[in-house]
Each structure stands twice: as structure tokens, then as C-alpha cells.
Chain A
């Protein structure tokens, strides 16, 4: 691989500080990649993709007919972050999750933060993800958000910002683990010299986190992963994590609440289950408590949860903390509960329900990224500078119609990193999703999922919108 003609461009580049000059943490990697014979990297790239397809590491594409299974495109050139820099991120993420958990507990109990007018009460009461059924809930050990995936981006200045928090059912961690496997097989020698921090103990940490939900008296708790089923886009991940943890992979139909206990239907009759890592949204988890039309959930499970007879991770109701309007208040949330300054800054955010902000947003649609407060996965989003006049008009109308539902942020010049393209290597924009587990203590996976917008110039990294992934090396 020849990096001599690689263009850094007017962006922060993850591997190069200037053309031809790799960053100190990436120097070894770049040297090794450059030493590979011409065409070797491309060849290994194809082999890696074949391996993923063969292993069936695929996701389902909604709305597409026929070939609905695709591999999540994977790029072999890793993204490197120096340990010193990572330590700060890790601290910042722990701080953020700790504060958000306190916020969740407060919102569903005393609401001190609203009474003290740090956040306007209507922000909470008007949020679609606020769950009345969760008011007064006491999750085991006071933990609500056991598994979080926080999206980080770097702007042109090289500073990491939090782009959004995902406290419901963040997906993608299986790709981190599988990508690492593929990388180790593909570049064993490079791995040997680079001293990359390992990620493969994630499943053990996750299992500990889930078991921590169960009463200590329970000697060998039975743990399950609750999936919507094989047609869900993240089914591979559900099954992967269940296998890695030695947990049961269950669907709603496998579970039934009998005399207030959650039981699994087995070939030997009903057997109790103690805790669930659930990958079904709140809305669908219990037709008696939430959406009555849900066929995916377990009728009565919320009642069992309230009585402490089943552990759920994450706790229902956590969605309120990743509402995009609430997001804008997270720095305030950190200051309020911890009396500390946030370590990782937020991206400046305009809240369309504020009159001044909305006026500014409508006047500057061609410079801003607009997001719906309650969507994820890159849906319901407008990238102003790349959108057509018609699309901007449509969004302007939507914002005016329901201002609470929209926020806007300046279009960031996301950092780039070298990525294999048909004839060599070019810079592509990336973000980073580290995974954070909150059990006995808070654990941050070293690295996380680097998502890359494979289309030239694109800023959208979601897998549903032409994104791929890369291994992330903390060295």
C-alpha cells in the first residue's frame, strides 16, 4: 500500500498529521502497511469480506426485496487512537453515563432537576420517549442504563464531541468483536508489534453486568437475550452475544408470565429465567404496559419487573435520556448532579422549540444538520449543505409544524481516515461509537465501532445508508 499520494485534505486525519507524516500512534501501522506488496491489501480486503459472508455475519435490510441480507462493509485499514487521548475519552464517558443514570432516576422519582428549573419540565413531558409506566420504578441497584453506545465525532480542530447518546438498544458491538477477529487473522504480524488494547472480554463484562441485576442469593442465575427474531436487522448480533455469554436466546413467544414469574417454555415444561438483556424497544416489550398491539413482547413482564422478579437491561424508560432535545441539556445535567465540568463537549445544538433558535435554523438550513428528536439510524435527518432546495423546503415545513420534534447542529467537518477504494486509498469521514457497561462499576470498551461513510464526501455513516466499519485500535 502506497501512502505517498494520500491526500489529507482540509480535515482532521486520523492517521496522518500532514501528507506523508503519520501520527506517532499510527507510525508503526503505516510503516507495515506500506511494506505490503502492491495489491496485497486489496486482496486481503476481498478475502476478509468473503470470510464475513461465509460466516453469515450479515444484517437485514428493511424494505429491500430479494437479497435482503448483506454483510456490513468492512474496511481493513484500522483507525488508531493514542492511549493518552483515549484515557480522557474514557473518563469523559464514565462521567457522562454516571450523570445520565442519576438523571434517569431523578426524572422517574423526585424530578429535582425540573423543580430547580435546570431543564424546562415541558421538555420531559412532551418527549415521546418518556414512559409514564416507569414513574416510581426502582431498578435493581438503581442502575437504568446498563448498556450505552455513545456516538463521538471529531471536528476539524481534532476535538472529540459527543454527537448523540444511545441508551435504548445500541447495536454494533458484535461487529467490533468480529472485525477484530478478522483483523487478527489478516494481519497477525502487525498486531504483534502494535500492542493494541484487546476488546474480546466484552461479552464477559456484559454477562457480569446482566448477572449483577439478579439477587445475590441466586447462585447460578439464568440469563437470556431477548430478540424480536430472525427478521430483525440486528439478529446476528443478538445470537452472537447470546452465544458468547452462554445465555439463552429467547423471543417474546418463548416467555410467559405465570403467577408473577417469567418462565421459558422448554421441552421439559416451564423454567424460570432471572434476567434479560433485552433488544426489544420499550414500546414492544409488554403489550399490557405499553403498545397493546405488540406481538414481540411478553404480556405481564413489566409487573414482574416492578416486583423485582426479573432483571431487565436496559431498564424501560431510558429513551428519555437520549431524546435529542434532552441531549442539548446533558452538559447542564453533568454540572447539576456531579458539580463537574463535562470532559467531552457536546456539539452546539439549536432547539427548534425556542423561537430564537428556530428562526436561526430556518434561516440557515443550508448550513445545518437537522435531526428529528426521536429517530435513530440516520432516518429523519437533513444534511443541509448536501440537500436539495426541495428537501430543505420540506424540512422547513416539518420544523414549523412540530418544532419540539427537531434540533439542528452545525455541519461538522468530520475527521477522515485512509480507506481502501477501487484504486488505492482515500480519506473517508468517520465517527466512533464506544460501548459503556454500567454494572458493579462502569466499563468502557477500549475503542469501539468506527463507522465510515464509504461514499466519497458523504457524512452519513449509518449502515442503513451506505456506511461501513473499521477496527479501532487503542495503542
Chain B
């Protein structure tokens, strides 16, 4: 497969998944702000921190109030990680890969984009409610469903899967990190009704609430963390995502587990192995935040190495950048 095409499929998937996760963050926070006391800044600032665009936000908005954060994360075109920017970039990558993806995938993504573009024009009067964010989540899940239902399980599909799973692992880890350290900073909440509400919110934002209840019943920080980090079966759990991404990356070169042919397979394989031999007690002993922080760095690094190994168009004879400017 053309490197540029693989790159486009990978990012198409990543951006769709990212849009979905931003919608999840916002939806849960909107919901939770109804239940939990405290200044609104306390609840909204972590969302911006989690997206990694704290500085960009501070340059453009006076404070981390609800309206500003919602706007920044939903329609702000200046924010490369707003829902609208993500869907626009997913579509742009889909256009690049247009002759490779199926008609059904393209039409669904294109329609979703056109709808958002319409809404974007009325963004100042729009009431961004639960329904809106549910629609964004559903659109992403529909896209994933169509991808799985219409695309052959060849290299292209595996690139879509690698992109989606890596993005999801990253977002689940950020969500967990932010909720645990920013919203639950003080011991004072621990053991109060809010504790339960907040952890339940973390679970809900990853659609994990029901699956968690079936397995663990009582909500405790350790169990929630074990479920969202180490579960192998829950589709939004970090370990599940890393295993799936690793499987797909290996499928591309038919490399068996435990071996590697290139730096990308080595990096991701090592990350998978580390998770496989980790227990939640160790995580808590060394600190959840420290663990998640390190994981994010490692995961990010895996993304960079994959990109270097498979997508980078290194000049071979003279400088020859891709892209058009006519």
C-alpha cells in the first residue's frame, strides 16, 4: 500500500475517534456539572488540559468558564482538536483515501461533516446539548461500524484499526488522569456521595458503566482503574486497545507475537508486554498519575515510530515533498 494512503487511513480513523472522545468528555462534564457543587472553572479547565491545548486556549479565551470551553472544544476552527476540526480533518484524509475506502464509509463521513458545517454556521445561537454530543458519538460509532461491515480485512482495514485503537487508548488514559487528579484533588471528597458520582461519571464517559457493574459491582477507585487500564475484553480499556493495535500492526507484515521486524513493531510490542505484566496494585503503589503520564509518553512515542517506519516520505533522490499547490 502507498505510504501516503496508509497515513491517510490511519489519521482518518484517529480523527474520527478523537472527535468522539471530545464529545464524550464534554457530554459527561455537562451532565456532571448538574450534580457536583463547586465553581465551574474547576470542572471545565481539566477538559482543556486533557486535550493538551491549554496554552492555545489561554491565548484566546479569558477564563475557563463553561461557555468558553464548550466553544473551544466544539466548533473552534482555530483549535486543531475541536470536534469540528477533527471531523474536517478526518474527511480530508478520507478524500485522500477516497479510491480506497468504501462508498458507504465516504458518504457517511461526508454527510456528518456537511451537517456539522451547517451547524457551525449557527454556532452562536446553537444550544449544544446532550443530543448534539450523542449525535457526534453515534456518527463516529456508525463510521466504525460501516468500516467493519464493508471493508475487507486487508492492510487498509488494519491501518484504520491501528489509528482508532491508539487514539482510544490515549483518550481513555487522559480521561482517567484528569478526572482522578483534577476533579478529585482533595481528600475531602473521598468517601462522600460525590466520590461515587465522579467515578461513575468516569465510567459513563467511556460507556463502561454497565460493563463495569456486571463485573465489579461496587465502585472503588482501584477497581475502576483496573477495569479501564487493564481489562482485556472491554473495548475502551487501555490494555484491550493496545492489544488490538498491536495485532493489526503485526498483521500488516505477518509478524508473530513476540518477534519484530522493524522499530514500530518493537515499540508497540514492548508496550503491550509491559501492560500484560502489570497489576493495579503496582500502579497505585507508584501513583496512578505517574503511571498514566508514562504510558502517554510511551504511546505517543509508539505513534511517532509507526509514522517514521511506514509513512514518512524520506527523500531518496533529491527533495521531493508531496502535496499540491495549484
CA distance A240 to B318 in the complex (A): 31
- B-chain residues with CB within 8 Å of residue A258 when the two chains form the complex: 316-317
Q: How many A-B residue pairs have CB under 8 A?
A: 95
A residues near B323, Cβ cutoff 8 Å: 229, 251, 253, 295
Residue of A nearest to B159 (CB): A267
In the complex with contacts A265-B3, A267-B310, A299-B317, A232-B96 CB distance below 8 A:
no
- Which residue of the partner chain B has the closest CB to A295? B321
Q: Are B326 and A296 in contact (CB under 8 A)?
A: yes
Q: A250 to B96, alpha carbons, bound, how many Å?
A: 10
A355-387 near B? 1/0 per residue, CB < 8 Å: 000000000000000000000000000000000
Question: Which A residues lie within 8 Å of B160 (CB)?
Answer: none
Contact B318 A299 (CB under 8 A): yes
Question: Once the chains bind, are B326 and A231 in contact (CB under 8 Å)?
Answer: yes
**Contact indicator A256/B107 (Cβ below 8 Å):** no
B66 contacts partner chain A, Cβ-Cβ < 8 Å: no
Stretch of A4-12, A51-59, A123-131, A435-443 on the interface side = A51-59
Q: Complex Cα distance A227/B324, Å?
A: 9
Q: Is the CB of A230 within 8 A of B92?
A: yes
Would A253 and B95 count as touching, CB distance under 8 A?
no
Among candidates A232, A248, A264, A298, residue contacting B324 with C-beta atoms closer than 8 Å: A232
Instruction: For B317, list chain A residues within 8 Å (CB).
Output: 256-258, 299-300
Question: Who on chain B is nearest to A229 by CB?
Answer: B324
Partner of A265, one of B2, B321, B325: B2
Judge if B98 is at the interface, Cβ distance under 8 Å.
yes
Q: Is the CB of B2 within 8 A of A239?
A: no
Interface assignment of B289: CB less than 8 Å from any CB of chain A? no
Q: B6 near A: Cβ within 8 Å?
A: yes
Q: Is the CB of B325 within 8 A of A235?
A: no
Assess whether A266 is interfacial by the CB under 8 Å rule.
yes
Distance A254 CA – B313 CA, assembled complex (angstroms): 8
Quick check: is B55 within 8 A (CB to CB) of the other chain?
no
Determine the chain B residues whose CB is within 8 A of the CB of A268 once the complex forms: 1, 253
B215 interfacial contact with A, CB 8 Å: no
Tell me which of B2, B98, B107, B114 contacts A266 (CB under 8 A). Answer: B2
Cβ–Cβ < 8 Å partners of B155 in chain A: 267
Residue interface mask A286-326, B partner, CB < 8 A = 1: 00000000011011100000000000000000000000000
Do B252 and A267 touch (CB < 8 A)?
yes
Residues on A with C-beta less than 8 A from B320 are 252-253, 256, 298-299
Say if the beta carbon of A213 comes within 8 Å of chain B: no
> Residue among B99, B114, B155 with the most chain A CB within 10 A?
B99
Q: Within the assembled complex, what's the spacing in Å between the Cα atoms of A232 and B326?
A: 6
A242 to B99, CA, bound (A): 7
Distance between Cα atoms of A326 and B252 in the complex (Å) = 53
Identify 10 new A-B residue pairs, CB closer than 8 A, beyond the known A56-B106, A254-B3, A295-B321: A54-B110, A62-B326, A230-B92, A230-B324, A239-B95, A253-B313, A253-B320, A266-B2, A267-B1, A299-B317
Complex Cα spacing A62 to B320, Å: 24
Instruction: Give chain B residues whose Cβ lies under 8 Å from the Cβ of A295.
Output: 321, 323, 325
Of all chain B residues, the one with the shortest Cβ separation from A67 is: B117
Q: Would B96 and A230 count as touching, CB distance under 8 A? A: yes
Bitwise, A320-362 to B at CB < 8 A (1) or not (0) is 0000000000000000000000000000000000000000000
Given the complex, which residues of A lie within 8 Å of B99, measured CB to CB? 239-240, 242-243, 249
B6 touches A253 (CB 8 A): no
Determine how close the nearest CB of chain A comes to the CB of B158; give it in whole angstroms.
10
The CA-CA distance from A240 to B106 in the complex, in Å, is 13
B103 nearest CB neighbor, chain A only: A55
Q: Contacting B111 at CB < 8 Å: which of A54, A264, A299?
A: A54
Interface centre among A235, A243, A265, A268 (most CB of B within 10 A): A265
Number of interface residues of A (CB under 8 A): 36
The chain A residue with its CB closest to the CB of B322 is A253
B206 smallest CB distance to A (angstroms): 31
The reply to whether B4 and A253 contact each other, CB–CB distance below 8 Å, is yes
Closest Cβ–Cβ distance, residue B150 to chain A (whole Å): 14
| B318 / chain A contacts, CB cutoff of 8 Å | 299
Is A418's beta carbon under 8 Å from chain B?
Answer: no
Instruction: Return chain A residues, CB-CB under 8 Å to B5.
Output: 249
B316 x A256 contact (CB < 8 A):
yes
Q: Which residue of B lies closest to A231 (CB)?
A: B324
The distance in angstroms between the C-alpha atoms of A370 and B114, with both chains bound, is 41
Chain A residues lying within 8 Å of B324, measured Cβ to Cβ, are 227-232, 251, 296
Are A254 and B4 closer than 8 Å at their CB atoms? yes
Q: For B98, give the chain A residue with the smallest CB separation.
A: A239
- A62 contact set on B, CB distance < 8 A: 326
Asked if A254 and B114 sit within 8 Å, CB to CB, the answer is no
CA distance A265 to B96 in the complex (A): 16
A230 to B253, CA, bound (A): 29
Q: Which residues of chain B are within 8 angstroms of A243 by Cβ–Cβ distance?
A: 98-99
What is the CB-to-nearest-CB distance from B160 to chain A, in angstroms, rounded to a whole number?
A: 14
Contact A55 B107, CB 8 Å, known A230-B95, A231-B324 = yes
> What 1/0 flags go to B4-41 for Cβ under 8 Å of A?
11100000000000000000000000000000000000
Is A231's CB under 8 angstroms from B110's CB? no
Q: Which residue of B lies closest to A288 (CB)?
A: B318
A-B contact pairs, 12 of them (CB 8 A): A55-B110, A228-B324, A230-B95, A242-B99, A253-B320, A253-B323, A254-B3, A254-B322, A258-B317, A265-B2, A267-B2, A295-B325
Q: Which residues of A contact B313 (CB under 8 A)?
A: 253-254, 265
Which one of A53, A55, A227, A253 has the highest number of Cβ atoms from chain B below 10 Å of its Cβ? Answer: A253
A239 CA to B99 CA in the complex, in Å? 6
In this complex, what residue of A is CB-closest to B316? A256
**A248 and B106 within 8 A (CB):** no
Complex-state Cα separation, A258 to B318, whole angstroms: 11
**Distance in angstroms between the alpha carbons of A256 and B5 in the assembled complex:** 16
Report chain B residues within 8 Å CB of A299: 317-318, 320
- Tell me the bound Cα distance from A62 to B5 in angstroms: 25
Minimum C-beta distance from A232 to chain B (A): 6
